[in-house]
Structures are given as C-alpha cells and as structure tokens.
Structure 1
Amino acid sequence: MDRLWTDFVNSDYHDWRGGDRSEDRLGKASWQRDFLERWQLNASVPASPEDELSMRNFRNELIALGARLSSGALLTDVEKQWLNDVMEAGHVRRKLNTIDQELKLQLIAVEAHWHQVMAEVAADFAMTLVEGEGGRIRICDNSDCRWMFYDDTRSRTQKYCDDKMCGNLMKVRRFRAKRKFQN
C-alpha cells in the first residue's frame, strides 16, 4: 500500500533490475504534477529551484530517519522536533463536510506551496509512527532497488517493496546462484 511519505521518498528512482539507470524524479514537472494530483495537494509546478532544494534536503533527512527506524532505533527528541518543525510550516484549517452521506473532518491547506506539501508528507510519516511502529518501516532487500515501504503484514516479515517485481527477481537470482554453485 502506497503512503504519501513513501511515494515522496521513493521519488529517487533506482533501476530495481540492477541496471545503471537512476533518476531523481523530484525535479521533474511531470512527476510533481502527478504527485500533487494523486495525493490531492496543491503547489506551483514546476517547483522553484529553492523549493526543489528544500524538498531534496527534506527527502534525504526523511530517508535517513526511515532507515534508522527500520534498523530498530527509536525516534529521538531531535528527530521529533525536526518533524514538528516541518509540520509547523504547513498551515491548515479544519472544515466539517458531508462526503458520500458521511460526516468527514477535512484539513484544508491555507496556502498552496511546497512547504505545505512537505508538511503533509511529514504529518503522514508521523501518523505512520503513531498508528504503527517505526520498526515496520523497511528498505527493500533488493540492494538495487532501495525503495522504502511500510510492512503492514501480520507476520512483519515483508522483505521486498513488491513481491512480484523485486521478490521474484531476488528469488530467480538465488536460484541461479545456487544452481551455479552446484555445477
């Protein structure tokens, strides 16, 4: 299941099949447009060079934090303050609406800018920590992939971002290595 924060951090693409191809999609206007549309967020596209730099720095910090938590470390006070600072940059107002005949409380962004988007990403990451646990944050075991994901399996043993892609690829690699060793 994709989450806002995993979609954001995984904008740094690496060829999961082991090729040399990688790209930082964060700076591409098409990725920015798709991301904003998918998550129903608003900001100017293309992002300014300053906003791109802020987003890259934020993404790198979030990846580092996710990696630390995936290894079993606990959230420090400094990291908690960092998340709070990022979330504070995004101002929202609350509005009660009826959607599909059901009452919903919506948080509506006061301004449409990339700092608001980063605040929403940080809030989604914080909700992941509140609702689950940091130990469920994983980095795909396929070293070529590097995608980050949240392990929502009951057994807490998910190793790959996608069993059909990275999981199958690694299974084939293990099989071939074992077969090569036997010959």
Structure 2
Amino acid sequence: MLWDDFMKSDYHDWRGSGHSEDRLDKPGWLEQWLAIHNLPYPGTPSAKELDDLRWLRGHMLRIVQKLTVHESAAPADLEGLNRALSGGPMFLRIAESDADYRLESIPLRAGWSRIGAEVAASFGRILTECEPSRLRICENPDCMAVYYDETRNRSKRFCDDKACGNLMKVRRFRARQKAAKTGVTTSES
C-alpha cells in the first residue's frame, strides 16, 4: 500500500542496533518508492517539500497511535490529512477497459503536493473504507513499523512474523533461559 510504504520511510533497525534513518533523505529512495506505486517522479524535492512530506508522515503516525489505544484522531491531525489532500486537485473521467468501465482520477497538478495528496488519499481510504481498528504498530520496540492487520482474528502483533516476530520469540526464549539460570544459581546458594 502506498501509505504503508510511505510510513516505512522513517526506518528503525528492527534488530536492535539503534540505527534509524529518514529514507526521504536517502538518494534514490523516493524515486524507487514512486516507481513501485506507478506514480511519476516529480524530481528532487525542495527542502520545503521534504518538510511537507515529513509533516504528513507525522500526522499519519499520530492518528495510528491514537487508534491503537482506541482513541479518536485529533482534529488537528485530520486537518493535516485534509491539507495534504487539498494539494492534489483532480478531475474524474470514465475509461473503458476490456468491455468494462472504470472511474479514473486524473490529477490537475504535478509535483510533490500531488504525491502528498496521493499518500493522504491512500491513508484516508484505510480510515474510511476499511477498519481503522486494524491499524497496528509493531510490538518490536526497536522496529515501530505501522501496518494494517489483515488476519481474521485481528491477532497480528508484528509487522513481519519472520523478521520481528521471530526475533522477539528468540529474545523471550533467551530471557527465560537467563532467568532459569539465575533462579538455579540463586536456589543453590
């Protein structure tokens, strides 16, 4: 999802090294991200455009943080989404494809404000058309990635069960091993 990959631009090393980076500053990351989502690369963003993207990411994160503790999003954060949405005015048109019709939205503007509007719209669809209560933040304290829980019983705890989930399982196992050794040593004394 567009919004999901955008949120991952604020990277934290899930393995616990403490390394983090803002991938918006990483050369080539934006261009690659947009190519994956079939969006045009409007060129290198200015400092203000990068600040606007970070600002949008912050609003989206605050909304997810509120929703994960069963609170409503703050009006200021919703206004932040609406501000980003206003940067991408568009018109609608009907297009034909394989004896079927589809409604297309055609942007009136190019540039980074349009990209911000696309991200905000992608996130807005999760809030309005899906179940916002399924938004999660990875329980690995070193990762903190945001994701949408698509499991039937809403039990997904980690952004990636093979990476963060497995790592946390190993950490719990080692903590139990250490506690058992400490308990054995203490009981022998």
Q: TM-score, normalised by structure 1?
A: 0.91
Residue 34 of structure 2: which of 33, 36, 59 is its match? 36
Whichever of the two has the greater Rg, that structure is 2
Identity %: 39
Count residues with an aligned counterpart.
181
Q: CA deviation at 1:115?
A: 1.0
Kindly provide the amino acid, as one letter, of the partner of residue 136 in structure 2: R
Which stretch has the larger CA shift, 154-163 or 63-72?
A: 63-72
1:90-101 to structure 2, matched below 5 A, reads 90-101=88-99
The answer to whether residue 29 in structure 2 is matched with residue 25 in structure 1 is no
Cα shift readout 1:51-82 (whole Å, capped 9, x = no counterpart): 01111111112111111112111234443333
Q: CA deviation at 1:101?
A: 4.8
Q: CA deviation at 1:100?
A: 4.9
Cα shift readout 1:8-63 (whole Å, capped 9, x = no counterpart): 11101111000132111012231110111111222422111110111111111211
Structure 1's unaligned 5+ residue stretches are none
The answer to whether residue 16 in structure 2 is matched with residue 11 in structure 1 is no
Kindly provide the amino acid, as one letter, of the partner of residue 10 in structure 1: K
Kindly provide the amino acid, as one letter, of the partner of residue 95 in structure 1: R
Aligned partners of 1:100 and 1:35: how far apart in 2?
29
Distance 1:120 1:71, change over 3 A: same
Aligned partners of 2:36 and 2:50: how far apart in 1?
19
Residue 79 of structure 2: which of 74, 78, 81 is its match? 81
Q: TM-score, normalised by structure 2?
A: 0.89
The answer to whether residue 150 in structure 2 is matched with residue 132 in structure 1 is no
Indicate conservation of the 8 Å contact 2:63/2:74, yes or no.
no
1:34-73 to structure 2, matched below 5 A, reads 34-73=32-71
Aligned partners of 1:98 and 1:84: how far apart in 2?
31
Which stretch has the larger CA shift, 141-150 or 69-78?
A: 69-78
